[in-house]
Amino acid sequence: MLRQLRQLCCALLLLLCTGGGLVIAVPHHCVFDRLPRNVGEVTGGEEPASPVTVSVGSDWAPLRIKVFADDLEGLGGFCTRAGEHINMFFGKEMVCQEEDILTEEKVDILENVILSEAAKMHGERLLVRPLDGPLVVPRFREGSVCGKFPVPEEHHTDGVPDADMVLYATAVPTFKPTFAWAMPCATLGPRGRPVVGVINYNPRHIENTSQHIRVAVHEMAHALGFIVTDMEGQALVKREVGVRGRSSVHVVNSRNTLEQARHHYGCESAPGMELEFAPPTRNPAAPGGRGRGAGPGEWRERGGGRILPDLPGGRAGRIFPGERRERGGGRILPDLPGGRGGGRGAAELPAEPVRRRERERMLRLRAAQHISASTQAAADGTLSTGTTLTVVEKQWRPPSWLGLMSHWGRRNAKDELMAGFVVSGYYTAITMALFTDLGYYKANFEMAEPMSWGSGAGCALLTDKCVTDGATLYPDMFCTDSSDATLRCTSDRQSLGTCAIYQDDNIPPEFQYFATKQGSRRGAMMEYCPFIAPMNGTGCMDGDEAIMPGSVVGPSSRCLTGENLRMGSTVVGDVCVQLRCGEGTLSVRYRGSEEWHPCAPGQTLTPPAPFTAGSIRCPLFSDVCLTMLKHSDASSALAVTSAPLLLLIVIGTVIVAP
């Protein structure tokens, strides 16, 4: 066995030495809050549209979503061959690669698996007052994002029968870390429920996996109304000051969301569910005109103001109060007093500008409230039978705070469906509660999925730092040792990984957890909290077993905790094993055994050779089985490449093996 182990290690050394640098696997990065709205300012009037009748019987009914994917390349900017140069829908030029081509197999997966399963997940959980009769789709203004999606003419005239929400789907390339994006296009009145939307799925990310389905569920949720400005418009958002040393955080504190957040975290004093809030930094612009205060797709002018790029096709974006337009067309947000760049919503604004901004915001909201009684009822969910509503183009409002996002804060809700990065994407009762608080949905809470991240952690998780003086109270969530190269389970148990800690001299003081300036990357949206991050090639479903000692890779594999596991002189860490999920029961099959072993939560199992010591601890059923696909041909979303960080482990093994 030791001879075989030595051969394995030598092969692994060769693989690592020829495989390139360490690359962390990237989850779906949602760009909803960066999508161009390019529609008019909110006014008191309504856009011309088609009337629909809403039936409101004694019972609500499951949401009926119809997805039309008849012209997946209708947006243009698609790839036909590798090496081809195209302009993406959002204007950036790209060189096509083989994976960017929309094949027949990808079309089948997108239409019959990803989109249909995603629509089904929402339909199983959300209820609405169903539309009575066909949904007639309004014509969207020329130049708008929604106006560029292909809509069959009969949908404008005859309408779409038996639907409460219509989505038009395309599949053209977009930003590489982004699997998909979606947005609402029309609502029942200016403040009512979204009834028409669009979704685009990046061809390079069309795969038959649970992750890719849940990415579509996430993006559809935005089209259904998970939008921070709509939450603000209904007074669901509250600002909290001084949390964890931050100048402010923003929480949804509406009744149902507050109740579910307190229940999940086990904290009766929680002020609400935190939203992602990443205000521009106060650092001055870097040489060359770029500064850390500039967000993705933005840059900083010489005087410090942020310039937002124009929309696709050269169309200019909206100008909000206090902004001006540069000669080239981009919007320049004014600097704050004292030369600080950052624009609207910075906590350091003096009292008078803050009051003026608040008055402007209230005027916009009041203008939006000059609507008919039936439209108000649509927002409140208090319609009477036969009420006639008007379908209008979605009206967008600017956010009250620059950097406030339409996602749950990832630090506190890393594996939740509506975090800004999606891998496992658990559809929890918290997100379902937010939909109910919007007023035009009810939720089937029996279908809520539990999430282990933060579950029962207590108030200290929400109020205190994740790491204090280099130690953490939450070792299942955060880590502190970057020198430990032993592979550990990621929080969603879909991959193996190591502790993501990096030196960063620019970490703000409120996010300094160690004696030196180190933490996770700013772009991870974890408030610099270090956590176990997957590496390329270490996914349980399609990883490379050569760099995953003791693991079994396959569509049904998930990560289990190893306790003192060893293979000869090699410290194994955690391992991926095959799972078989029954009705609330779990069986596992691990390296060295062809049999299935019952695995009750908390039970330990002792695996045979090639393991020489240690055991495997059984997980909760909900931690590993909820994201298992019913179809067996699924594979992991993580790419397979080498992971040179394991070189130290392998060298040690080769040296000590006789």
Tell whether the model's pLDDT for residue 266 goes beyond 90: yes
Q: Which of 540, 535, 563, 567 is nearest to 551 (CA)?
A: 540
Residue 511's φ and ψ, nearest 5 degrees, are -115, 20
Assigned fold of 2-21+465-656? Leishmanolysin; domain 4 (2.30.34)
- What is the DSSP-derived secondary structure letter of residue 501? -
The answer to whether 111 is a known catalytic residue is no
| First-to-last C-alpha distance (Å) of the chain | 11
Amino acid at 628: M
- Give the confidence band of 568 by pLDDT, cuts at 50, 70, 90: very high
When pLDDT is averaged across residues 587-609 and rounded to a whole number, the result is: 96
pLDDT of 408 reads: 98
Share of the chain above pLDDT 90, in %: 58
Candidates 47, 117, 207, 219; catalytic one: 219
Nearest Cα to Cα of residue 468 among 515, 503, 507, 402: 515
Alpha-carbon span 182 to 218, nearest angstrom: 9
Query: Among 153-157, 351-355, 392-396, whose mean pLDDT is lowest?
Result: 351-355
Residues 6+ apart with CB under 8 A from 177: 26, 28, 29
Q: Locate 452 and state its tokens.
A: 């282990």
Return all residues near 240 (Cβ < 8 A) that are at least 6 apart.
248, 249, 250, 251, 271, 272
Q: What is the dihedral of CA 101, 104, 107, 109, to 10 degrees?
A: -110
* pLDDT (tens digit per residue) in 99-141: 999 999 999 999 999 999 999 999 999 999 998 889 999 999 8
pLDDT class of 644 with cuts at 50, 70, 90: very low
pLDDT top residue among 541 and 642: 541
pLDDT at residue 92 in the model: 84
Task: Report which of residues 360 and 54 the model is more confident about.
Answer: 54
Mean pLDDT of 535-557: 93
When the pLDDT of each residue in the chain is averaged and rounded to a whole number, the result is 79
pLDDT value of residue 96: 95
pLDDT tens-place string over residues 279-321:
766 544 433 444 333 433 333 333 333 333 333 333 333 333 3
**Model pLDDT, residue 629:** 62
Q: What is the mean pLDDT of residues 3-13?
A: 40
Q: How sure is the predictor about 627, in pLDDT bands with cuts at 50, 70 and 90?
A: confident
At 404 the three-state DSSP class reads strand
Q: Which residues contact 316 (CB under 8 A, 6 or more apart)?
A: 310, 325, 329, 331
CA distance 643 to 537: 7
Residue 218 marked in a binding site: yes
DSSP 248-312: EEEEE--HHHHHHHHHHHT-TT--SEEEEE-PPP-PPPPGGG--TT--TT-EE-TTS-EEEPPPG
In this prediction the pTM is 0.79
pLDDT of 355 strictly over 50: yes
Instruction: Reply yes or no on whether the pLDDT at 652 is more than 90.
Output: no
* Highest mean pLDDT, choosing among 295-299, 363-367, 567-571: 567-571
Mean pLDDT is lowest, of 82-91, 121-130, 156-165, 386-395, for 386-395
User: Domain limits of the chain?
Assistant: 2-21+465-656, 47-210+383-396
Instruction: Give the tens place of pLDDT for each residue, 340-352.
Output: 333 333 333 344 4
Among 168-172, 309-313, 478-482, 584-588, the range scoring the smallest mean pLDDT is: 309-313
How many beta carbons lie within 10 A of that of residue 106, not counting itself?
21
Range in 8-17, 57-66, 83-92 the model is least confident about: 8-17
pLDDT class of 41 with cuts at 50, 70, 90: very low
Which of 1-15, 221-235, 274-288, 594-608 is the least confident region?
1-15
Q: Quick one: average pLDDT of 396-419? A: 93
pLDDT of 397 over the 50 cut: yes
Question: Cα separation of 100 and 110, whole Å?
Answer: 14
Query: Is position 205 annotated in a ligand binding site?
Result: no
In this predicted structure, what is the pLDDT of residue 175? 84
Average pLDDT over residues 495-510: 93
More confident residue, 479 or 52: 479
Whether 47-210+383-396 and 2-21+465-656 are alike in CATH topology: the answer is no
Q: How far is CA 309 from the centre of its chain?
A: 24
Is the model's pLDDT at 10 over the cut of 50?
Answer: no
How many other C-beta atoms lie within 10 A of the C-beta of residue 286? 12
47-210+383-396 belongs to CATH 2.160.10.10 = no
Is pLDDT of 17 > 80?
A: no
Tell me which of 350 and 654 has the higher pLDDT.
350
- Is pLDDT of 373 > 60? no
**What's the pLDDT at 225?**
97
604 bridge partner residues: 617
**Average pLDDT of span 73-95:** 89
Q: Give the pLDDT confidence of 183-238 residue by residue, as tens digits.
A: 999 999 888 899 999 999 999 999 998 899 999 999 999 999 999 999 999 999 99
> In whole angstroms, what separates CA 260 from the centre of its chain?
20
Query: Residue 177 pLDDT > 60, yes or no?
Result: yes
631 is in an annotated binding site: no
What CA–CA distance (Å, rounded) separates 211 from 205? 10
Contact 577, 589 (CB under 8 A): yes
